[in-house]
Amino acid sequence: MIIGVPKEIKNHEYRVGLTPGNVAEFMHHGHKVIVEHNAGDAIGFSNEDYVTVGAEIVPTAKDVFDQADMIIKVKEPQPDECKMLKKGQLLFTYLHLAPDPLQTKLLLESGCTAIAYETVTDNEGRLPLLTPMSEVAGRLSIQAGAHCLEKAQGGSGVLLGGVPGVKSAKVVVIGGGVVGLNAIRMAIGMEAHVTVLDKSLNRLRELDDYFGPKLNCIFATKDNLEKYVQEADLVIGAVLVPGAAAPKLVTKEMIKSMRKGSVVVDVAIDQGGCFETSKPTTHQEPTYIVDEVVHYCVANMPGAVARTSTVALNNATLPFALALANKGYKKAMAEDKHLKNGLNVHEGALTSEPVALALGLPYVNADKALGLVNNTHTEMA
């Protein structure tokens, strides 16, 4: 199989789909890898590094899309990239289709087969290809939030951990999953006063056992959300409904009730955001202000630490990518239901039910779309 690695083109996105080390793995299995010129240069993976392990460097993204059987990326394809995809071609990357009707439309029109990192599952029901970036984003959310609290950034001028004689900031984390856990670790490490809200009592018990009295664990009712958001200096939105649009848990009224210069960081923005006032921002212009509250809603947060993120992501994606290359996508997904759960689009059919529900589009079961069962039919989600 010919594996193609284009250079990412989203604003300030420096991650790359394959590291030279992972290219070497594909070469070892007898595949050919083509890499766009300088695809990894910004994070220290030079053209020479790729050539040394056997990759071929091509001048443009068009060369990659024209030649490759499978495209391995990091971020969702931008419109110009979607238009280069074609029937029979495999795309393996983050997609986040639920809040993105244009990308969904273009992928369906392309006829390609698109597998989303964020909906691949494992035996424990987790999302193993989303986990490394959730870990990065959770840790970054506190770093970014602490910076936004600085007065020069529009914040209230509060130091997260305070100093002797001055109280520490109040950090509220909404959602106790992978993002939330990592945000909590960083916030406690910086000596903030930390509260987590989650609707799962079992998860709250786990977090309480892990962090003890350093963490305030609160059940997530609307009343509790209103109370703790209003009192917070920094709120981290860390909720996830796999593959679907994020629920709008923090209302405009809650934002308006917060103190001037408070900060909200919406890590769920890739799935539409969990604050009513959220809109996607970029690393170039990461923040905006609503009702005197600073909003940080960067849609590719892990791109800020692109080298760490690239290596972490490659560690997780390699086994799945190799299975697709070695077996072909149809056999690989027939043998691995967790990889099949990653299938979002196949030859004009939308195979992710949460995306279909979010966008009001027809849904086709993945088995039927792939021809793994007879009598395919389309259902309205």
Asked if 234 contacts 160 with a C-beta cutoff of 8 angstroms, the reply is: yes
CB neighbour list of residue 260: distance below 8 Å, 6 or more residues apart: 156, 292, 293
3-state DSSP assignment of residue 7: coil
| Measured distance between the N- and C-terminal CA atoms of the chain, rounded to whole angstroms | 35
The verdict on whether 96 is a catalytic residue reads yes
Q: 77, 107 in Cβ contact below 8 A? A: yes
Catalytic entry in 96, 193, 295, 346: 96
Q: 56-77 burial string, b = 16+ CB within 10 Å, else e?
A: ebbeebebbbeebbbbbbbbbb
What is d(CA 21, CA 310) in angstroms, rounded to the nearest whole number?
12
And the tokens for 45? Answer: 């993976």
Whether 283 is a known active-site residue: answer no
Question: What DSSP state is assigned to residue 348?
Answer: T
Task: Exactly one of 100, 233, 266, 270 is catalytic; name it.
Answer: 270
CA angle centred on 334, ends 331 and 340, rounded to 5°: 110
Contact 58, 79 (CB under 8 A): no
CA torsion sign, 352 to 320 to 93 to 145? positive
- Tell me which residues are annotated as active site: 96, 270
